[in-house]
Amino acid sequence: MKIFIDSADLDEIRQAFAWGVCDGVTTNPSLLKKAVDKRKAAGEKLDIKEYISQLLQASQGSPVSLEVTELTAEGMIAQGKRLFEMFNHIARNVNIKIPINPALKDGDTTHFDGLKAVSVLSDEGIPVNCTLIFTPEQALLAAKAGAAYVSPFAGRVDDLLRKRAGIKFDKSDYYPADGFVHNNELLEDNGIISGIDLVRQCVEILEIYEFDTEVIAASIRNPRQAREAALVGAHIATLPFSVICDMLKHEKTHEGVELFTKDIVIEYVNMLK
Ligand code: G3P
């Protein structure tokens, strides 16, 4: 499984690449706002174009998703092309993030605009990461429209299931991949029993029909969910920096280092000087 870092924070991105574990970057408007706010709070005068250029360079030629902000097909296509023209020459690694369905509410006439934008941009050779995927059928349609990547939002599915059932939770709380029984009922959203189940179903469908589209397990909140994304065959997981850090932690690892350190023989250390 490839690991992308889900961040627009240059420090985090540089660090993750320096560790040699990062295969790409995903950003979205919220992540960009967080990174920009951090720089502004530190008193920096931000040149957003320069900042994104640095982000693309920091990613060492591996794919970086930049998201559109428009909500109509025409607007998304124009922005997608502009982003690609403006930034792809820097490291040849830009892909454009398009929401599968930009309608703000049911009944809007723009339901298919996401698909149209995916299709037009893909036909022009601009790779698309189709985002905000919450059903396997959305993933199937995005793949058919030519998306290079689809991004099912695992953590947000788990949020939805717990919220509907009136269960209190923290954002990083683990949610069982095999589902959660509450008041004798298995929580589900139209046949999806967890965020990881959504990822699994997306992978399965795209593999049955041999699409080249890669599934990016997104909205991953904790190491166990990252592990489960790998177990269900996600091609990629995009992970917040904190999750990458937490994946390294175990109390017995710390204890082992402490015990080995106590037992070091001085002759061995001297030999290595
Ligand atoms: O990659 C999508 C991601 O940034 C959303 O994550 O944790 O806000 O649901 P989250």
In the chain, what are the domain boundaries? Answer: 2-271
Can you tell me which residue has the tokens 């502004």?
Answer: 40
**For atom 4 of ligand 1, which residue has the closest CA?**
219
Q: Find, among 235, 229, 239, the residue nearest to 215 by Cα.
A: 235
Phi, psi of 244 (to 5 degrees): -60, -45
Q: State the catalytic residue, choosing from 97, 249, 262, 273.
A: 97
Residue 238 Cβ contacting ligand 1 at under 6 Å:
yes
**For atom 1 of ligand 1, which residue has the closest CA?**
218
pLDDT digits (tens), the chain, 273 positions: 999 999 999 999 999 999 999 999 999 999 999 999 999 999 999 999 999 999 999 998 999 999 999 999 999 999 999 999 999 999 999 999 999 999 988 778 888 999 999 999 999 999 999 999 999 999 999 999 999 999 999 999 999 999 999 999 999 999 999 999 999 999 999 999 999 999 999 999 999 999 999 999 999 999 999 999 999 999 999 999 999 999 999 999 999 999 999 999 999 999 999
- As a whole number of angstroms, the distance between CA 206 and CA 139 comes to 8
For 184, the token pair is 């004798």
Residue 156 Cβ contacting ligand 1 at under 6 Å:
yes
Question: pTM of the prediction?
Answer: 0.96
Q: Catalytic site residue 97?
A: yes
Fold of 2-271: TIM Barrel (3.20.20)
- As a whole number of angstroms, the distance between CA 174 and CA 154 comes to 11
Q: How far does CA 203 lie from the centroid of its chain?
A: 15
